[in-house]
Amino acid sequence: MSDGKVGLPFTRIAERLRTADLPPREEVDAVVAIARGGTVPGALVAYELGRPLRLLQMNYRDDDNTPRHEAPTPLADVPSVTGQRILLVDDVSVSGATLSRARELLDAAHVTTLAFKGRPGAADVVLFPDVPGCVHWPWFEDVTPAPAPHASPRAIIVAGVSGSGKSTVGRMLADRLAWRYVEADDYHPPENVAKMRRGEPLSDADRAPWLAALKAELDASLARGEGVILTSSALKAQYRKILTGDREDVQIVLLHGPARLLADRLNARTGHFFDPHLLQSQLDTLELPAPGERMLVLDIEPEPDRIVDRITRELALTPTTPPTP
């Protein structure tokens, strides 16, 4: 966008919404959207959860995010949600003031706040904390979808926090394509494994030799003309840049989902050295793709074979075994 604003197409918003840590639908009685900016975001959330939508008309800032009033001000009657469990939605939260004032006005039993864009902590859930500037929302104007890859990749990095299913999906994808499979955990030096067993998060210095070894494996496979699937957490953009080297034939697929689902999977695991208490540390470290980073983000809730189907379809890959009927 020539005006410096970030364009967020519906596809990227839908991906983030599907993987956001929203309250379970059985714990939400209604969605309240702060109109007018939050009307469409609230409608998307209400549709996702299958819950009714109510509008709370308030005004504080103009379209350039400049305050117009001394405090967020209701412009109409406050919807009656007495005793209900509410998910309160706005498009942008700069200081959190509008959401906080709206929470006070609603006579609800419980309120969870959601902002589509804002700084971390501006709401209970922020969909795009990684977008620092202003946004072109697709419901106000046409936003061009992110470009598709020019050609099918020859190396795929299946990324995600522990519990996202990346190893399961990676192995199934390698079998489907008859490509080499590389498990990043096998390349950790013993001192890294020892730290993780003690429940200590790895630092960037700890990860440096590990990332270098993984990059060497990718480069060697590509130099031999082999297709390769690498499963790695790849939590930070700088890690992903090291692994891909900005090569167009290396594609990252990020598996992501709600924290409660990830925690349930980790608690059910046996025979793995990852400490489930490190999940929050990984989620705090995870940098979701910023606009312009070429990455396919997929929800972890479908069965692994369905996720593999989606990857082969989205990346125009040719499987050697048939997809799921």
Q: Which residues contact 187 (CB under 8 A, 6 or more apart)?
A: 210, 213, 214, 217
Spans of all domains in the chain: 6-136, 155-314
Answer yes or no: are the C-beta atoms of 278 and 161 closer than 8 Å: no
Distance CA 23, CA 258 (A): 9
Q: Token match 């008859």: residue?
A: 178
Q: CB neighbours (10 Å) of residue 175?
A: 15
Q: Kindly report, residue by residue over 142-186, the tens digit of the pLDDT.
A: 766 655 555 789 999 999 998 899 999 999 999 999 999 999 989
Q: Which fold is adopted by the domain 6-136?
A: Rossmann fold (3.40.50)
Most confident of 7-11, 16-20, 113-117: 113-117
Nearest to 239 by CA among 287, 303, 280: 287
- Please tell me the total number of residues recorded for the chain in this structure: 325
- Answer whether residue 1 shows pLDDT above 50: no
Higher pLDDT, residue 145 or 291:
291
Interval 91-106: pLDDT, tens: 988 878 888 888 988 8
8-state DSSP, 25 = G
pTM of the entire structure? 0.65
**pLDDT at site 129:** 84
Instruction: For residues 257 and 21, give the distance between their C-alpha atoms in angstroms, rounded to a whole number.
Output: 7
Level-2 CATH architecture, domain 155-314 = 3-Layer(aba) Sandwich (3.40)
Asked if residue 60 has pLDDT above 50, the reply is: yes
User: How buried is 284 (Cβ within 10 angstroms: 0-12 exposed, 13-18 middle, 19+ buried)?
Assistant: exposed
**Helices of type H across 70-183:** 97-105, 166-177
Question: So what's the pLDDT on residue 214?
Answer: 94
Domains 6-136 and 155-314 in one fold: yes
